[in-house]
Amino acid sequence: MHKKILPFLFLPLALGFATQVTAPEMPLLGQADYSIPAPEILCEVESFDAFLEEAILHGAAPGAAVAIVANGKVLLSKGYGLQSIQHAEPVDAHTIFRIASLSKSFAAFLTGRLVEKEVLKWEDPVIQYLPDLCLLTDKQTETLQLVHLLSQTTGLPYHTYTNLIELGRTTEEIMPLLADVELIGDPGTVYSYQNSVFSLIGEVVKVATGLEYEENLQREVFGPLHMTDASASLDGFLHHPNAAMPHQASRAGSWRQLAPSPHYYNAAPAGGVNASATDMAHYLLAMLGNRPDILSAETLKKLGTPYIFSPIRWRYFHHWDHMKKAYYGLGWRVLDLGNEETLLYHGGYVAGYRAEIAVHPRDGWGICVMFNGAAGMADQCIPKFLELMEKKKEVL
């Protein structure tokens, strides 16, 4: 018998039921209509570069890094500010940051690779790989599929046992506790964001391949995409010679450096990836279909197809003037911008870091911005770049 620990629950505004969802049609990634030639958006990239440069200069965060790609080209891969306020080393394109929940898209990308290699299937029952998993009822246990883990539709309450991740418990330790948790809906029917439960995909990958999750990422994603700075562990961060340290804002408006935290490396699929701007540029290009040798257009479309409606408009997107509705795909939020235009997006925060990523399948561009401080201006970055791109389209 184990001591019962209540799951960490959030407000019910996070729930989104999947009945009769009408979602925008996603284009085939990698077969997009690149209507904006790369040279024609250089002005917008320069404007965003200046926006970020000025923000860091005025103390929005100790340091930052950005990757912007379009039409199969890297247009910007650059660092700003300092790795550490204590040592004053500059951030460059190879400085690693923690990317927090952007890690979820890597878990989906890796799963897609293993599906294409016929190691996994999207609809495989989770208990096929984790026979000790037990939800409240046999039916719920038997119907939980891999696709439900990646689409945040497990039916478990919002942020179930996220608090235990932050107390250092592993996914393997948390899994038995799920048997006591009452579901808020059957798997596949309700949106409910997870970290500990999402990370079950890492245990599935480990069983299916016989290799640790981080080793799978290295073999199937980081290595093939030439993400030479990337890792998914605390050791990988601590032993990297060019790492941005975490910081916290003080009441006086200055920044205080923190010690690197082990939080969420124990749930690596949900929040354990470290990466540089150079790494993220390679990843963005792959997500836009420029590496069909790594992941096919059909699989990329699967990742970015809206799976369930997520009614979180005012919680995360109050800076977004163009957004109509938000969905969750597989490891990605899928935003309906209207006029059959969609954007793949994710944000992340962990232990003194913020990160934002977006991929525009139709227009063929992508952007990732990372900060080594919990900078509020991170919320403005993707909307700012989207606004610049929308203005360019109006001119054209």
Flag whether 116 is in a domain: yes
Buried b (16+ CB within 10 A) or exposed e, 29-39: bbebeeebebe
* Whether 371 contacts 355, CB under 8 Å: yes
Contact between 222 and 286 under an 8 Å Cβ cutoff? The reply is no
pTM assigned to the model: 0.90
Is 348 part of any domain? yes
Q: What is the dihedral of CA 315, 316, 319, 321, to 10 degrees?
A: -90
CATH label of the domain that carries residue 324:
3.40.710.10
Could you tell me the end-to-end alpha-carbon distance of the chain, in angstroms, rounded to an integer?
66
Residue 327: give the domain boundaries: 12-395
Q: Is residue 66 within 8 Å of 367, Cβ to Cβ?
A: yes
Whether 223 maps to a domain, the answer reads yes
Domain count, the chain: 1
Asked whether residue 5 is domain-assigned, the answer is no
Assigned domain for 1 exists: no
The pLDDT tens digits of the residues spanning 295-309 come to 999 999 999 999 999
168 CB neighbour count, 10 Å cutoff: 11
Tens-digit pLDDT profile for residues 62-104: 999 999 999 999 999 999 999 999 998 999 999 999 999 999 9
Asked if residues 355 and 348 have their Cβ atoms less than 8 Å apart, the reply is yes
Residue 44 lies in a domain: yes
Q: Output the pLDDT for position 322.
A: 72
Whether residue 86 lies inside any domain: the answer is yes
Q: pLDDT tens for residues 11-68?
A: 333 333 333 344 444 444 444 333 344 556 789 999 999 999 999 999 999 999 999 9
